Amino acid sequence: MSSISQRGNERLLSEAAGTHSRDYKILVLGGNGYVGSHICKEALKQGFSVSSLSRSGRSSLHDSWVDDVTWHQGDLLSPDSLKPALEGITSVISCVGGFGSNSQMVRINGTANINAVNAAADQGVKRFVYISAADFGVINNLIRGYFEGKRATEAEILDKFGNRGTVLRPGFIHGTRQVGSIKLPLSLIGAPLEMVLKLFPKEVTKIPLIGPLLIPPVNVKSVAGTAVKAAVDPEFASGVIDVYRILQHGH
């Protein structure tokens, strides 16, 4: 192949990739949070149009990428506030979750996200991706409402979106977490644990009591990369994606 032909093919591929990127408009629910902000950055890096909805609206971060996101303020417990943000959206990625009393956790992790799933389905959104959480055995019982809400949302996604819905179940998510003006280097602990624990066979996580503690942590960038793939790639696996598959897809 001549260099001219090769350059022509590269240009066509580049234009095709650009068109593909412009075709996808991603709404990140909770895009100003720890995981959500990394998802916004990853989607922007890949050339997608990105917007976010959260109760506080615009991110408080001063990074340059913040200006490239369309920020919406709304509350998923008031479903009507979601409708304007869903206009023209192709894919939704939800990072919404939190802790509190059992009833609060069911509302935040369950009811709020279920409202979003139903609104997205009614709006004709093509794909829905949800950042859930791995099972931690007996720990689940200590924060029962958290997992009750998460699993209820998962069931709603699989019901409303079927093979167009993906649930990611990471364990401990490490990386650099911004809290006010302080950057918490969670990878100081998470990265070495990830390197060690991912060497163990997956079966060890099934050992009673101690097994769930051997679930490898995963870098927030791997979670973000996997979430964006799931949101834009119609060939990406639907259903529940565990930590080990996130590790594979995120690299």
Would you say residue 4 has pLDDT above 90? no
DSSP 8-state class, residue 141: H
Look up the pTM and report it: 0.86
Nearest C-alpha neighbor of 98 from the set 61, 145, 41: 145
Taking only the tens place, the pLDDT of each residue in 165-217 is: 999 999 999 987 776 667 777 777 777 887 888 888 888 888 887 888 888 99
Domain containing 158 equals 18-249
- pLDDT at position 184 is 75
Name every residue whose Cβ is closer than 8 Å to that of residue 53 and which is 6 or more positions away in sequence. 27, 28, 29, 30, 31, 72, 73, 74, 76, 82, 85
Determine the 3-state secondary structure of 179 from DSSP: strand
Q: Does residue 11 form part of some domain?
A: no
Name every residue whose Cβ is closer than 8 Å to that of residue 118 and which is 6 or more positions away in sequence. 79, 156, 160
Here the tokens at position 33 are 């949070």
Section 135-154 average pLDDT: 90
Name every residue whose Cβ is closer than 8 Å to that of residue 38 and which is 6 or more positions away in sequence. 175, 220, 221, 223, 224
- pLDDT at position 63 is 86
Q: Does residue 7 form part of some domain?
A: no
Section 44-72 average pLDDT: 92
Q: Does residue 238 form part of some domain?
A: yes
Nearest C-alpha neighbor of 150 from the set 105, 116, 120, 115: 105
Residues recorded for the chain:
251
With beta carbons less than 8 A apart as the criterion, state whether 143 and 137 touch.
no
- pLDDT at position 22 is 60
Q: Does residue 149 form part of some domain?
A: yes
- pLDDT at position 250 is 63
Q: Does residue 13 form part of some domain?
A: no
Determine the 3-state secondary structure of 57 from DSSP: coil
| The residue to which tokens 């200006």 are assigned | 67
Would you say residue 219 has pLDDT above 80? yes
Taking only the tens place, the pLDDT of each residue in 12-57 is: 433 344 435 567 899 999 999 999 999 999 999 999 999 999 988 8
Name every residue whose Cβ is closer than 8 Å to that of residue 226 and which is 6 or more positions away in sequence. 168, 241, 245, 246, 249, 250
Q: Beta-carbon neighbour count of residue 111 at 10 Å?
A: 16
Number of domains in the chain: 1
Q: Does residue 12 form part of some domain?
A: no
Q: Beta-carbon neighbour count of residue 218 at 10 Å?
A: 25
CATH code at 40? 3.40.50.720
Q: Does residue 10 form part of some domain?
A: no
- pLDDT at position 207 is 83
Here the tokens at position 206 are 């099934």
